[in-house]
Amino acid sequence: MSALLTGRTPQFLDLAFPGTLVVLDFDGTLARITRDHRDAKLSPRSRAALTSVAERYPVAILTGRRLSDAAARVEGVPVRWVIGSHGAEWPGDRVDQRTWRVMVLGWKRRITPFVQRIAGAELEDKGLSLSIHYRSAKRPDAAAVAIGELVARLPGARVIPGKRVANVVPENAPDKGSALWRLAVDTGAGRVLFVGDDDTDEVAFRARLPVPAVTVRVGYDARSAAAYHVGSRAGVDRLLDNLASLRDPASRRRRAFR
Ligand SMILES: [Mg+2]
């Protein structure tokens, strides 16, 4: 784990102050990546760590999953916001998304028969976007090429590649970067901690926010724009533990005497 996150640097200690907003991706960050995306869930260990943080900080989940899908997976944990579809789906949003939904439906009709011919590929309709998963493909590189050629022909589409998934979103739809910005502004945050694990999170790592941000990628990647990293997903649980302990009364007393 990066030295920052072991909890002994000013930037980490600053997170204890009021105004910190904690924003977390779901798959690969809070939950292990599973062969079937439907099986992903919080482990008891991660659920306890997340609950502990959510009791002490405002927490938002920012995920590529549908809002309702992600919300069900964190049910019982007091997170304040769940933002779905890579930042396009907000709770209670009244933005008219019919145009997007019609466009996504058109893409789905167009590519469904072709996706079925790619071994190990599966199409998921998320309403505001499509995900073509190939976690179970025996030849993932070949599947990625075939999927890439398929989605390149879709009008008005932007492809956000992820870990063995191609996410297809309307080209003018929000992304995790604009969603992180909106979260920071709407919640009046004084600083933001954002943790993600995938290429889809890089726009959020690169986002120029109106407040200071601590960005963390799960797994080291030299090309990542994240300021810090944790070595593995288990490191996220330890990071959350440290974050929660920053706001424990006993921990505050210790710091006051340092
Ligand atoms: Mg992820």
Residues 98-121: tens digit of each pLDDT: 888 999 999 999 999 999 999 889
Residues 125 and 152 in one domain: yes
> At residue 153, what are phi and psi to the nearest 5 degrees?
-90, 0
Mean pLDDT of 174-191: 95
Residues 7 and 28 in one domain: yes
Averaged confidence pLDDT in the chain: 91
What CATH number does the domain containing 61 carry? 3.40.50.1000
CA 27 to centroid of ligand 1, rounded, Å: 4
Structural tokens at position 202? 């890089």
Q: What is the dihedral of CA 22, 241, 76, 84, to 10 degrees?
A: 30
**Which domain-ending residue is among 123, 155, 170?**
170
CA 249 to centroid of ligand 1, rounded, Å: 32
Q: In whole angstroms, give the CA distance from residue 94 to residue 218.
A: 33
Residues 73 and 106 in one domain: no
Residues 71 and 180 in one domain: yes
CA 120 to centroid of ligand 1, rounded, Å: 20
Write the pLDDT tens digit of every residue in 4-16: 666 567 888 899 9
Give the residue numbers spanning the domain of 102: 98-170
CA 197 to centroid of ligand 1, rounded, Å: 5
H or E element that contains 101: helix 98-115
Residues 61 and 108 in one domain: no
Residues 166 and 110 in one domain: yes
What is the domain count for the chain? 2
Cβ–Cβ < 8 Å for 237, 49: yes
Q: Is residue 215 part of a domain?
A: yes
Least confident of 64-78, 151-165, 206-220, 239-253: 239-253
**Which domain-ending residue is among 170, 205, 234?**
170
| pLDDT for position 35 | 86
Is 257's pLDDT higher than 80? Answer: no
> At residue 253, what are phi and psi to the nearest 5 degrees?
-60, -45
Please give all residues whose CB falls under 5 A of ion ligand 1, grouped by chain where several chains appear: 25, 27-28, 197-198
